[in-house]
A and B are shown apart, each in its own frame.
Chain A
């Protein structure tokens, strides 16, 4: 399932210069075997991970969580509480690791930054007219700059799906390049919104497009459309980052987001990483879960392993 052709490998960095070259390359990627991808993802979900391996997987998954709140009703108090939870997910157990990052809207960034300063927990902000991405480019870039200035060190941008689905790849590419520039030193996560891309072929193309344009992470979804992260979609994206590293030597991270609620689901993703791209990606720098309710389930399972007693939702904060 190697997705690069030898002719394209030589000058990948030149592709962004013309619409035609980009289209030729993206449409030259091999198609995804839909049945095969779904079957492979389902098969990887059947592994049984127990005892010490499970404990390790849970701690790793906690470190990979991008603790997220993206609601119109977010308040400074609510996001500060969330940030405090990110630092000490289980106040009763100091050995519990902190999460990977907190993910909020740009206006909430300063309030979170106060709490997280110096902690090692990253601060991600969505930008570029999240979640639809339907705003003029200047507005999107201003959105991005504001988030970075406020203290975000990771930017979660959305691609222009309207342009992508209409086949205007160059426009999508240029927007990602511009956003990457506007984010400066901040890590750029590119949200593909796979639920709106309709096919796995499009997911593969969008993944390559985002990586070619300089994205540091590719992320599945905003969490705002009915279909969010699914194992087959994540599998296609993992294959894309694997092939991209083989072609260019640059490693890109993957972040499934939305719909991952249980420890069991999270562990299935960890198995999939290990089997698809290898242990290089089993690290919070290269793989994240965009989630909110997942953390509580991880904590409950962790408590079960440390105390031997099933825990309940009453003992963990709601957000």
Chain B
């Protein structure tokens, strides 16, 4: 019998719950693998997918979203060795799993912390409730590849946003492998869309896109690019999260600001009595 030939994996994009190649047909060599090099049209398609998924995901109950995020943690735990084989440390995988669980728990608790009843001088109930901003473009940090990605995606989606993520250009394999985890976790297609390739090609398109509601610039290291992206984002008044400093500790307690930065507050007045 002849010697078996190993089957190598093609690392593709993750858009609308599917794994397409780049529309441009291009790929680039990184981490000893061929990875799709996305174009601005892939970014456009990803925004369309994210927009299509937004209504259903925002309308799902907080309990349901929490369950799905917890399911992601379960799946990730089960695939730990796959990430270790990509050079992600054990410690980082465990931290990423724990981060999913931590954010999953927030899904039905954040409204109590961040919303609530307001005292008003009149016979009304006055209630504020946080609602998702909509479609969020996210530039994942360069490193740590897995924990950094989870730490920017989970807080955006737990509250009902959908995201288009530009993965770390130098370490995209963890992102594509995480997409396989997400695809098997009951997460509706389009809630998370992952683009691999050069930031300079996809992110300016996302920053200028009129159908994107917020942009998280966490992974942008070039201050000029960050400034340019903010200018583009101003066109339709996107919410902008600025880049984090290089020495940021991704293992530390993240706090709730990443979640609350991507929320809108809806306040309703309701007559009391009668």
Which residues in chain B, 176-217, are within 8 Å of chain A measured between CB atoms?
205, 208-212
A313 contacts partner chain B, Cβ-Cβ < 8 Å: yes
The docked-state distance in angstroms from the alpha carbon of A121 to that of B209 is 32
A286-319 vs B: 1/0 string, CB under 8 Å? 0000000000000000000000111111110000
**Are A309 and B51 in contact (CB-based, < 8 A)?**
no
The docked-state distance in angstroms from the alpha carbon of A46 to that of B67 is 43
The docked-state distance in angstroms from the alpha carbon of A181 to that of B118 is 70
B258 contacts partner chain A, Cβ-Cβ < 8 Å: no
Output the least CB separation between B210 and chain A (Å): 4
**Are A309 and B209 in contact (CB-based, < 8 A)?**
yes
The docked-state distance in angstroms from the alpha carbon of A315 to that of B237 is 14
B153 contacts partner chain A, Cβ-Cβ < 8 Å: no
Partner of B208, one of A309, A314, A315: A309
Closest to A313 in B: B211
The docked-state distance in angstroms from the alpha carbon of A202 to that of B211 is 44
Which residue of B47, B208, B209, B210 has the most chain A CB atoms within 10 A of its CB atom?
A: B210
B contacts with A, residue count (CB < 8 A): 10
Output the least CB separation between A51 and chain B (Å): 14
B44 contacts partner chain A, Cβ-Cβ < 8 Å: yes
B235 contacts partner chain A, Cβ-Cβ < 8 Å: yes
Contacts of B205 in A (CB 8 A): 310
The docked-state distance in angstroms from the alpha carbon of A312 to that of B47 is 10
Contacts of B211 in A (CB 8 A): 310-314
Contacts of B208 in A (CB 8 A): 308-310
Which residues in chain B, 205-258, are within 8 Å of chain A measured between CB atoms?
205, 208-212, 235
The docked-state distance in angstroms from the alpha carbon of A312 to that of B210 is 5
Contacts of A310 in B (CB 8 A): 44, 47, 205, 208-211
The docked-state distance in angstroms from the alpha carbon of A311 to that of B44 is 10
B18-48 vs A: 1/0 string, CB under 8 Å? 0000000000000000000000000010010
Output the least CB separation between B255 and chain A (Å): 31
Contacts of B47 in A (CB 8 A): 310
Which residue of A308, A309, A314 has the most chain B CB atoms within 10 A of its CB atom?
A: A309
A132-149 vs B: 1/0 string, CB under 8 Å? 000000000000000000
In the complex, the number of residue pairs spanning A and B with C-beta atoms less than 8 Å apart equals: 24
A57-97 vs B: 1/0 string, CB under 8 Å? 00000000000000000000000000000000000000000
Closest to B232 in A: A309
The docked-state distance in angstroms from the alpha carbon of A52 to that of B210 is 23
Contacts of B235 in A (CB 8 A): 309
Contacts of B212 in A (CB 8 A): 312
Contacts of A313 in B (CB 8 A): 51, 211
The docked-state distance in angstroms from the alpha carbon of A313 to that of B212 is 11
Closest to A311 in B: B210
Closest to B208 in A: A309
The docked-state distance in angstroms from the alpha carbon of A114 to that of B51 is 37
Output the least CB separation between A211 and chain B (Å): 40
Closest to B207 in A: A309
Which residue of A309, A310, A311, A315 has the most chain B CB atoms within 10 A of its CB atom?
A: A310
Contacts of B209 in A (CB 8 A): 309-310, 312
Output the least CB separation between B137 and chain A (Å): 12
The docked-state distance in angstroms from the alpha carbon of A314 to that of B236 is 11
Which residues in chain B, 43-74, are within 8 Å of chain A measured between CB atoms?
44, 47, 51
The docked-state distance in angstroms from the alpha carbon of A39 to that of B38 is 30
Contacts of A308 in B (CB 8 A): 208
Output the least CB separation between B20 and chain A (Å): 16
The docked-state distance in angstroms from the alpha carbon of A248 to that of B154 is 67
The docked-state distance in angstroms from the alpha carbon of A310 to that of B39 is 14
Closest to A304 in B: B44
Output the least CB separation between A310 and chain B (Å): 4
The docked-state distance in angstroms from the alpha carbon of A311 to that of B212 is 9
The docked-state distance in angstroms from the alpha carbon of A34 to that of B35 is 41
Partner of B51, one of A311, A312, A315: A312
The docked-state distance in angstroms from the alpha carbon of A311 to that of B205 is 11
Closest to A303 in B: B210
Output the least CB separation between B144 and chain A (Å): 31
The docked-state distance in angstroms from the alpha carbon of A223 to that of B149 is 45
The docked-state distance in angstroms from the alpha carbon of A312 to that of B237 is 14
Closest to A315 in B: B210
The docked-state distance in angstroms from the alpha carbon of A309 to that of B44 is 10
Contacts of A309 in B (CB 8 A): 208-210, 235
Contacts of A315 in B (CB 8 A): 210
Contacts of A314 in B (CB 8 A): 210-211
Mind listing 23 A-B residue pairs with CB under 8 Å? A308-B208, A309-B208, A309-B209, A309-B210, A309-B235, A310-B44, A310-B47, A310-B205, A310-B208, A310-B209, A310-B210, A310-B211, A311-B210, A311-B211, A312-B51, A312-B209, A312-B210, A312-B211, A312-B212, A313-B51, A313-B211, A314-B211, A315-B210
Closest 10 CB pairs of A and B: A312-B211, A312-B210, A309-B208, A310-B209, A311-B210, A310-B44, A309-B210, A315-B210, A310-B210, A310-B211
Q: Which of A's residues lie within 8 Å of B, judged by CB?
A: 308-315
Known A310-B209, A312-B212; 7 more pairs at CB < 8 Å: A309-B210, A309-B235, A310-B208, A310-B210, A312-B209, A312-B211, A313-B51
